[in-house]
Amino acid sequence: MMRSDKPLRGRFAPTPSGKLHLGNAMTALLAWLQMRAAGGEIVLRMEDLDRQRCKPELAALLLTELKWLGLDWDEGPDIGGPHAPYEQSRRTGRYALALAELACQGRIYPCYCSRADLQGAVHAPHGLASEGPAYPGTCRALTADEREERARRKTPSLRFAMSETAIYRFRDGIAGELTYSGGAGGDFVVKRADGIVAYQLAVVTDDIEMGISDVLRGWDLLDSTPRQLALYEAMGSPPPRFAHSPLLLGEDGSRLSKRHGSVSLSDIRESLGVRPQRLVGFMAWLAGLRDRIEETTPGELVSTFDLSSVRRQAVTLPDDWMDLLKGNARSGPIDE
């Protein structure tokens, strides 16, 4: 069941544990275009649950850089809105309620496994590509006595029990038709042993409460979708539509990172001295929306935006991508 009868609402949900980089910025641009082209609304949600890793100055920089690109939003931490607060660190009471509800349904259980136990699970079934072996279910069937005994030694994490027989089928707006079966990566953590609510639970709770109809995010989270579909089902809420934007790779085939050059927006702005219109044109070209790199603004891309023209495959950037971005490159468009 889809939310087609609901208002169109998308979101960007950055994690302020690092600087915005080219890949996140392209995803934000696409999420913005998807909503603006359809007359929908955009929510900006700061995913700052991990207080050790997330920094307020990075959150502030993210907002500044998204605005510098020419993006805006209808609700967010800086402007408020009907679903405030928009920082996950201020929404923990909601996650506790969601966990309590799942506990009532008997869908979650305490897991006492250590990192070493998990790594040592040699015969573990194949898990999600992004997360390694599936959890072998060690703590799923512990007796009350076993739990008590383990609880004396270790604070547990909480895991959501995936059905091994359920089949999760969905049509991704970019990746196409997908099917996950066989437990889709196994039972996953919804609350960490250090007390921090895990990504899957927080994101689904918020997307439901914020009335999100369309999730457009990076391809690295594609594998999380069946887990999130299982949570939507358990929480009795119809899922949003999903679309996963292509990963950016360096010429060596690994994910674009610092060793491929100035990938953070700050470096692109300050060290390379690139103007936002140039960067937007570059990202539109990377994403497959334009066949040449031309200066443009997000607003100018709205009228011709079509999700089906976004590339389905990862995008490989040539080694001289920074010259291409600056406009003084030798090579032409991407390797196709």
Q: What is the residue whose two structure tokens read 């999100």?
A: 212
> Strand order of the sheet with strand 108-111?
108-111, 157-160, 188-191
Structure tokens at 315: 């995008």
Can you tell me the distance from the alpha carbon of 240 to that of 71, in angstroms, rounded to the nearest whole number? 22
Per-residue mark of binding to ligand GLU, 211-240 (x: CB under 6 A) = ------x---x-------------------
**Smallest separation, CB 87 to ligand GLU (Å):** 12
Give the containing element (helix H, strand E) for 323: helix 321-326
Shortest distance, CB of residue 149 to ligand GLU, whole angstroms? 37
Distance separating alpha carbons of residues 45 and 239, to the nearest angstrom: 18
* Contact pattern from residue 154 through residue 193 relative to ligand GLU, giving x for each residue in contact according to CB under 6 A and a dash for the rest: ----------------------------------------
In this chain, which of 20, 28, 203, 265 binds ligand GLU, going by CB under 6 A? 203
User: Cα(167)–Cα(163) distance, rounded to whole angstroms?
Assistant: 9
Burial 167-178 (b: 16+ CB within 10 A, else e): ebebebbbbeeb
- Report in angstroms how near the CB of residue 2 gets to ligand GLU at its nearest: 18
Q: Is 206 in the site for ligand GLU (CB under 6 A)?
A: no
Write down the catalytic residue from 6, 67, 154, 258.
Answer: 258
Q: For ligand GLU, what does the binding mask look like between residues 42 and 61, x meaning CB under 6 A?
A: -----x--------------
Tokens of 82: 């009907």
Minimum distance, C-beta of residue 332 to ligand GLU, in the bound complex (Å): 31
Q: Which of 8, 9, 10, 15 binds ligand GLU (CB under 6 A)?
A: 15
In the complex, minimum distance from the CB of residue 21 to ligand GLU, in angstroms, rounded to a whole number: 11
258 tagged catalytic: yes
Q: Closer to ligand GLU at the Cβ: 121 or 287?
A: 287
**What is residue 239's DSSP assignment?**
-
Stretch touching ligand GLU by CB under 6 A, among 7-15, 35-43, 110-118, 167-175: 7-15
- What minimum distance in Å lies between the beta carbon of 13 and ligand GLU? 4
Q: Would you count residue 14 as binding ligand GLU (CB under 6 A)?
A: yes
Q: Is the peptide bond before 240 cis (omega within 30 degrees of 0)?
A: no
Please list the residues that pair with 44 across neighbouring strands: 12
Beta-strand pair 188-191/157-160 = antiparallel
- Judged by CB under 6 A, which stretch of 8-16, 97-105, 168-176, 288-296 contacts ligand GLU? 8-16
Q: If you count them, how many residues does the chain have? A: 336
Contacts of 103 (CB under 8 A, 6+ apart): none
Residues that bind ligand GLU (CB under 6 A): 13-15, 47, 203, 217, 221
Catalytic residue ranges: 258
